[in-house]
Amino acid sequence: MVADLPVANPEASTPADFADAAVEAGMDADDVAEVTALFEAVRYGDRPVTETRAERATDALRRLERTDVEEDPSP
């Protein structure tokens, strides 16, 4: 999903960069924020992957996958 987002330098981009690009491409801001926060908490924080976090992430990702997204929102 993130591979399709228009991010200039994906290897050096932050989760916030991807989140901004996702919202600009038309994805739901609340779902993007949910996935980003969960990712950051587990990847960069001390939070373990719990069943609850995994379910929240899966639910938000499924909603995002159903979103029609512009391939390149630039004019």
Domain edges within the chain: 12-65
Q: What is the pLDDT of residue 38?
A: 97
**pLDDT in the model for residue 1:** 62
pLDDT value, residue 66: 87
Q: What is the pLDDT of residue 11?
A: 85
Report d(CA 15, CA 32) in Å as an integer.
10
- Of 49, 55, 15, 48, give the one whose Cα is nearest residue 5: 15
* Residues of the chain under the 50 pLDDT cut: 73, 75
pTM: 0.81
Query: What pLDDT, on a 0 to 100 scale, did the predictor assign at position 56?
Result: 97
Residue 47's alpha-carbon distances to 7, 15, 32, 38, in angstroms, are 27, 17, 19, 9
- Counting every residue written for the chain, the total comes to 75
Q: For residue 9, what pLDDT is reported?
A: 85
Give the span between the Cα atoms of 70 and 19, in whole angstroms. 15
